[in-house]
Structure 1
Amino acid sequence: MSVLPQAAIAAASAAQATAVQLGQGVGAAASHLDTTHLLAVAAALGWASGMRLYAVVFLTGLAGWLGWVPLPPGLQMLQQPAVLWGAGVLMMVEFLADKIPWVDSAWDTVHTVIRIPAGAMLAAGALGADAGQWQFLAALMGGTLAATAHVAKATTRAAVNTSPEPFSNIGLSLLGDAAVPAFLWLSWQYPVALFVVLAVAIVVALALTVLLFKFVRGVFAVLRQKWGSGTARA
């Protein structure tokens, strides 16, 4: 056997060994995250999924793939290339759809049955299958937070869509785009601060949902009344 093939085989073996060591290192680092830190990650994943599910999947997987954060074992599938590509494409579609009035509301309506269970699954994955009752509680927390964020987002955007100008709609959409990576970053770097910010966000979301739901319901009631009057005259 010549020297070049032997060198190539040796290089490939070394690269494989390095990859295995890195993977073991990431898994070990993730397993050493304390419960508070893992719950912060689970909470951030749940809340952010209610706003931008595909951005959450893509950014979390990308951070793990690049080695920026040690993903827990239950989330390491997010860093697989196929998942990254799929989530990246859907993230761009969602980014564009969320900037168009009424298209964003239609998108939110369809994703009511997607974001909430996905938020629960991601939150449960943050704690892993070995966490027992903690994983179950994380799933409940993630699903609840995803539902709260989703309803607040959908209600707010539906109310803003009644305005004829598009700038407030785009501004709110960009704010949501920025909030997702901010929540994910806080959960990894400052988990206690994440809980404080999240508590404030929940209060604001509930207040907006109650206030704007009445407004949106009133607008649609007026529209139905006008539509009914027009149909009767016709």
Structure 2
Amino acid sequence: MSVLPLVFTSGWASGINAYAVVLLLGIFGATGLTDEVPESLQRTDVLVVVGVLFVCEAVADKIPYVDSVWDSVHTVIRPISGAVVAALLAGQSGSLPEITAGAVGGSTALVSHLVKAGTRMAVNTSPEPFSNIAVSTLEDLGVAGIITFAIFHPLAAAIVAGGLLLLGILIIVFLAAKIRRFRQRRAQRREERRLATSWPP
């Protein structure tokens, strides 16, 4: 059976929380729930490191503005992680060229990451912090659910992930004006601070 559905789903999930993807796949492989996961992702040292990073992301992702900074840093990390995981899965399966899998996983992770980052910028325009906590929790649960589902039903999970990716893109298009206003207000505040320091009373 082709590993492509699992590659696509893991790419989508990596764009949201790459550490959770590696952690879950590693645990599923180590416990024998699937033989699709390469041994390199099941190593104890790998699981410990991504476990710590997952906790860091779980905290940072729920704090307004800190989450956007975190997302900026991970603009490179998440697509690379998606590509590497995809290539490893393809290498384990042997049903898909690793370079093709890496391209699919990396590009899907990049689009998914951009959707997440854009959504967070819109959420950060809200004055209260509870929206960030709710959105982040939903993302974490979504990644856990879709990766678990993909282990047992890869094709169905890929269809769900594709639908969520399309929905996310549509939401970003809808929120584009709000994100633009947020950037304008932030630039205006920076300019006001600059003028305040340039012209003391």
Matches within 5 A, 1:66-81: 66-72=31-37, 75-81=38-44
Is 1:109 the counterpart of 2:68 in the alignment? no
Structure 1 residues 193-202 or 168-177, which shifts more? Answer: 193-202
Counterpart of 2:176, as a letter, is F
Evaluate the alpha carbon distance shift between residue 87 and residue 229 of structure 1 in structure 2; reply closer, same or farther with a 3 A threshold.
closer
2:101 aligns with: 138
Contact residue 158 and residue 216 of structure 1 kept, 8 A: yes
Is 1:174 the counterpart of 2:137 in the alignment? yes
> What is the TM-score normalised by the length of structure 2?
0.90
Aligned length: 197
Is 1:189 the counterpart of 2:171 in the alignment? no
Larger Rg: 1
Q: State which of 66, 73, 88 in structure 1 corresponds to 2:51.
A: 88
1:156 aligns with: 119
Q: Deviations over 1:128-148 (max 9, x none)?
A: 078486322211111111011
2:12 aligns with: 47
Counterpart of 1:41, as a letter, is L
Counterpart of 2:13, as a letter, is A
Task: State the alpha-carbon separation in 2 of the partners of residues 227 and 81 from structure 1.
Answer: 46
Q: CA deviation at 1:231?
A: 4.4
> What is the TM-score normalised by the length of structure 1?
0.78
Evaluate the alpha carbon distance shift between residue 172 and residue 118 of structure 1 in structure 2; reply closer, same or farther with a 3 A threshold.
same
Task: State the alpha-carbon separation in 1 of the partners of residues 103 and 148 from structure 2.
Answer: 22
Counterpart of 1:159, as a letter, is A
Q: Deviations over 1:175-218 (max 9, x none)?
A: 01101111112212112211321221121121122232332122
Task: State the alpha-carbon separation in 1 of the partners of residues 95 and 158 from structure 2.
Answer: 22
SS in 1 for 2:128: coil
SS in 2 for 1:128: helix
Evaluate the alpha carbon distance shift between residue 215 and residue 136 of structure 1 in structure 2; reply closer, same or farther with a 3 A threshold.
same
Query: What residue ranges of structure 2 are gaps of 5+ in the alignment?
Result: none
Evaluate the alpha carbon distance shift between residue 130 and residue 97 of structure 1 in structure 2; reply closer, same or farther with a 3 A threshold.
closer
Task: State the alpha-carbon separation in 2 of the partners of residues 231 and 107 from structure 1.
Answer: 25
Alignment RMSD: 1.9
Structure 1 residues 205-214 or 116-125, which shifts more? Answer: 205-214
Evaluate the alpha carbon distance shift between residue 62 and residue 140 of structure 1 in structure 2; reply closer, same or farther with a 3 A threshold.
same
Task: State the alpha-carbon separation in 2 of the partners of residues 40 and 145 from structure 1.
Answer: 12
Q: State which of 62, 81, 88 in structure 2 corresponds to 1:125.
A: 88
Task: State the alpha-carbon separation in 1 of the partners of residues 189 and 19 from structure 2.
Answer: 38
Structure 1 residues 51-60 or 224-233, which shifts more? Answer: 224-233
Q: CA deviation at 1:100?
A: 0.7
Task: State the alpha-carbon separation in 1 of the partners of residues 116 and 144 from structure 2.
Answer: 16
